[in-house]
Structure 1
Amino acid sequence: MNARAMSFACVARLPERQSGQALVLGLVLLFAAVLGLFFLFSTGQALGTRQRLDNAADAAAWSAALWRARVLNFHAYSNRAIVAQEVAVAQAVTMTSWAKYFERFTANASVLAAAYPPVATVISAAASIAANAREMTERAASDEIGWRADPLTGYKQLLLRSQALLHRSADTFGMGAVANEIARANDPRFFAFAMTDAGGYERFTRRWDTDADRERLQKVVLDALDPFTSGPRGLDLRLLLMPSSCAGTTLDFDKWFHWYRKRGGTVMSSLDRWESADTGSIHDWRRRGFIFGSCRDRESIQLGWGAAEATNDDPVQWLLAYPGDADDNGGAALLAAFGISGRGYRGFHDYDGIARVRDLNYSALDNPRFPVTRVAVLARVEGNTVRTANALNLGTGRLRLFERYAGGRIWSLSAAETYFRRPPGAPERIEYASLYSPYWQVRLVEPSGAERAAAAAYVR
């Protein structure tokens, strides 16, 4: 074979060697592309799941804190309702006392007016109406006190029991139930729970049940009374047609005539007893001595009296405080005290005293004026449920990618806090936190270092 033929033969074999190298390179590139595709697919699935888990954790923490805010707002509404129940009891006692007084006043006035038949007829009719009104008032007041303040079935006890029940629903276990429900609503694969707060929520509020605590609520109740109930229900009327014994013997013109003095009021003589009294008497100014003696006010005729009490199974059946200076009419006040008994109406003896409500535990709060209570939620999803290439059984051998999750799961930590703030549009003024104003709201916050450390302990 000549040289030209050999040269041609060498040139003819070159394309075969180049084709074999391109195939190997193509296989390598194809392997890398498939591996990269699997990696991108798995990474995208993991990141997408993580993003959805983060959103679910935020929603779970916010919802759990929102439930706690609603529980605190319920405490505020129920505390206000309990104050209203106490005020209603005071009003029932007041109306009973006033009805008794008016019944006795009209009855005595009809006797005094017997000398004037036209007037006597009118007053006698009024006395009959007053007697029926007293009967109806006393019966209605007895029922109302029983409904509102009965130690077993009264509205006040129902409110206190509901406070206790809802308080338990907002602890760590309750928050975990809310958080998990929200997480699973986002994705059935998710699981979430509320992390322990080392008793922070239990210290946030407490039941105010000591006498000093109850006196605080008592002051709120007394401040909420209307003017007629709280009194004094007083009146001083000069009787110009009835000259006194001192008429013309003193320079003090007020002492020349008889006076009608009305006294009355309603008070709490103890933490477990409402007392109301109304008295009315005619007073005469009488001279002491013959020539140089002074004039002195003396009660001469008791016209009207009435008293009522609301207490427990051990009624006092006497006036202790004589509210509204009822004892200025001493004789009428004694008659009122003798008639204070409920006359067989059980409700007057079913009052269980100033309630033991739930309020903030100010001594245990970091910031008593603007306190917050936090909820930290840790959410997770099992790693083998994430639809990665490995979970879908894509690829074998070196094309198989295996994920390494912390504890075999994807985790997400979120936190929210319940705080006190007056709503937008409210009048501009500072109002400090309490369980008497329903202004508890929610916001998401950054997890604290302690919460991150606690979450890390779960993840390992």
Structure 2
Amino acid sequence: MRKQSGQSLVVGLIFLPVIVLFLLYLYNVSQQNLHKTRLQNTSDAAVLSGSQFLARELNFKAYTNRAMIANHVAIGQYVGLSSWFNFAVETFDNIEDVARFIPGVGAYFTQAEQYIDSINDTVLQPGLEVAVTLTNAVNTGLSKSQSIMSYASSAAMVDSLNGIVKLNDADAELDIISATTLMNTIFNDWRDYQGGFNRTDNTGRYEEFFKVVTNSRDQFLVNRSHDWGFPFSFTWPWCTGYYKTRQAGGTDLINHGERDKETWTSMDTLSIHYKRWKRFRCRKREARIGWGGSHAGEDNDTRRYSSRSLYGQSRRINRSASNRAYARESAMNDAYSGIQQFYSVKKIDQSNDAPPVTIVVSKSIDALQTSKSLGIGTTKENETRNVDINIEEGMDVPRDQFSSAAKARIYYYRATDLWPNTRFEYGNLYNPYWQTSLQDIENSERTYLLGAVFGLDLAGM
């Protein structure tokens, strides 16, 4: 029995190196997996945070486009009010021309007419012109802010990427290959996706913006035409028993092509229509009572626009009074510079995705706490070749670093439950529904990115 004592110690000594090797192997693998996971989380957090700046850029442009459209419509409102005040003053002036001959009241009408004229000329019209000027200045600022945002958001994105990487892992950094992917996104894909447009555009984006402005007009601008009721209107079967008081007016935005700025033009008229016998026929006649107009932008008064569809069909309803509207028409041409540059998606197609953002984050393998960094089994490598325990896991990336790629999707989504039906809205810069999410990277793209990293490492970059 004594001859068998100590055999387990021999066996233990034989397997001890294997156990040590196994434990060190597990330690190295766990460290590499831990740092790989941390690096992937870092790259995911960085790309998701950085892409938010580009999504915010699109949402900012959508908000400012909506603001500019609202301001254009507001300028139309000012022009419409200017026209209506001119019309009201002219109507009172014409009434005063008759009332002045009425004993006892003529003098009061004359004084009232002078007072109203003075208020309109010195307060109302100048005030409305100032309002047009200020609103136009706001649009100028909004237009320029879109261009500034285009550059600022790209710079902020790059700064955010670096900052998020360092906050999550002080030893990691954006790989040099990220400079290539980000430059391609910012200067190629992103600029090809959206850009600035003005009246010289022939792709349809300006026409689309122009239609949004005109379609945003309220009823006061589109058509303020109506017939006055009894006793101002009366219809009798006989020819001489018919008269009708009709008021017409509207405000329209006119496009003059690529060279000249647009014009907000407005007209208001009031006439009494009656019938009388003439040459053995009952003919309809118009007695004009009041008229007025106003315009801002390109210097074209109401005589330049003869279409009956304009001004709430005023030229069809009150033809004679419409021909006199220019006689009391305010011109606020310099106050309005027309539709200024705005940003829009260049190609409207059935897609809700903007160009994605892809980055590669790398980290030196020396930052890992492995058996090599601890000096275990490597202090006297020449003397321990027979029992080499420098067994760090082989990497499929460069020998001195490991890398992780991440990709963010920038997309447009508007919840369908906000619509009264099943219509679907594609990506645009009129509604701020741009958002981001992580996106899977295809194997071919991942292979290309990590292969590029390896190539740059071999080149010493």
Could you say whether these structures have the same fold, taking a TM-score greater than 0.5 normalized by the shorter chain as the test?
yes
The one of 200, 211, 216 aligned to 1:219: 211
Structure 2 residue 47 is matched with structure 1 residue 64: no
TM-score where L is the length of structure 1: 0.79
Does structure 2 conserve the Cα–Cα contact (< 8 Å) formed by 1:106 and 1:124? no
Query: Over alpha carbons, which structure has the higher Rg?
Result: 1
Give the direction of change, closer, same or farther, for the CA distance of 1:232–1:100 in structure 2 (3 Å limit).
Answer: same
Structure 2 residue 363 is matched with structure 1 residue 373: no
| CA-CA distance at 1:94 after TM superposition | 0.3
| CA-CA distance at 1:400 after TM superposition | 4.3
The one of 195, 205, 222 aligned to 1:206: 195
Supply the distance in 2 between the matched residues of 1:36 and 1:338 (Cα, whole angstroms).
100
Supply the distance in 1 between the matched residues of 2:324 and 2:123 (Cα, whole angstroms).
22
Deviates more, 1:408-417 or 1:333-342: 333-342
Give the direction of change, closer, same or farther, for the CA distance of 1:99–1:254 in structure 2 (3 Å limit).
Answer: farther
Q: Considering only aligned residues, what root-mean-square deviation do their CA atoms show, in Å?
A: 3.4
* Equivalent position of 1:155 in the other structure: 138
- Any unmatched runs of 5+ in structure 1? 1-10
Give the letter for the 1:83 counterpart: I
* Equivalent position of 2:313 in the other structure: 325
1:71-104 CA-partner distances (Å, limit 9, x unpaired): 2222211111111011011001000001111112
Pairwise mapping of residues 341-380 of structure 1 onto structure 2 (< 5 A)? 341-342=330-331, 348-362=333-347, 365=349, 368-380=350-362
Supply the distance in 2 between the matched residues of 1:27 and 1:240 (Cα, whole angstroms).
119
Supply the distance in 1 between the matched residues of 2:216 and 2:134 (Cα, whole angstroms).
20
Supply the distance in 2 between the matched residues of 1:132 and 1:450 (Cα, whole angstroms).
74
Does structure 1 conserve the Cα–Cα contact (< 8 Å) formed by 2:267 and 2:294? yes
| CA-CA distance at 1:330 after TM superposition | 4.5
SS state at 2:300 partner: coil
Supply the distance in 2 between the matched residues of 1:427 and 1:298 (Cα, whole angstroms).
50
* Equivalent position of 1:45 in the other structure: 31
Supply the distance in 2 between the matched residues of 1:112 and 1:329 (Cα, whole angstroms).
21
| CA-CA distance at 1:440 after TM superposition | 1.7
| CA-CA distance at 1:423 after TM superposition | 4.0
* Equivalent position of 1:182 in the other structure: 164
Supply the distance in 1 between the matched residues of 2:265 and 2:99 (Cα, whole angstroms).
32
Supply the distance in 2 between the matched residues of 1:236 and 1:65 (Cα, whole angstroms).
59
The one of 415, 420, 435 aligned to 2:412: 420
* Equivalent position of 1:275 in the other structure: 265
* Equivalent position of 1:8 in the other structure: none
Give the letter for the 2:255 counterpart: S
Structure 2 residue 126 is matched with structure 1 residue 139: yes
Deviates more, 1:204-213 or 1:437-446: 204-213
Does structure 1 conserve the Cα–Cα contact (< 8 Å) formed by 2:292 and 2:327? no
Supply the distance in 2 between the matched residues of 1:394 and 1:123 (Cα, whole angstroms).
109
TM-score where L is the length of structure 2: 0.79
Structure 2 residue 425 is matched with structure 1 residue 432: yes
Supply the distance in 2 between the matched residues of 1:163 and 1:200 (Cα, whole angstroms).
18
Give the direction of change, closer, same or farther, for the CA distance of 1:158–1:392 in structure 2 (3 Å limit).
Answer: farther
Does structure 2 conserve the Cα–Cα contact (< 8 Å) formed by 1:103 and 1:134? no
Give the letter for the 2:61 counterpart: H
Give the direction of change, closer, same or farther, for the CA distance of 1:123–1:454 in structure 2 (3 Å limit).
Answer: farther
SS state at 2:304 partner: coil
| CA-CA distance at 1:304 after TM superposition | 1.9
* Equivalent position of 2:284 in the other structure: 297
Supply the distance in 2 between the matched residues of 1:320 and 1:353 (Cα, whole angstroms).
18
- Any unmatched runs of 5+ in structure 2? 257-261, 382-387, 455-461
Give the direction of change, closer, same or farther, for the CA distance of 1:264–1:253 in structure 2 (3 Å limit).
Answer: farther
* Equivalent position of 2:293 in the other structure: 307
Does structure 1 conserve the Cα–Cα contact (< 8 Å) formed by 2:86 and 2:120? no
Does structure 2 conserve the Cα–Cα contact (< 8 Å) formed by 1:53 and 1:190? yes
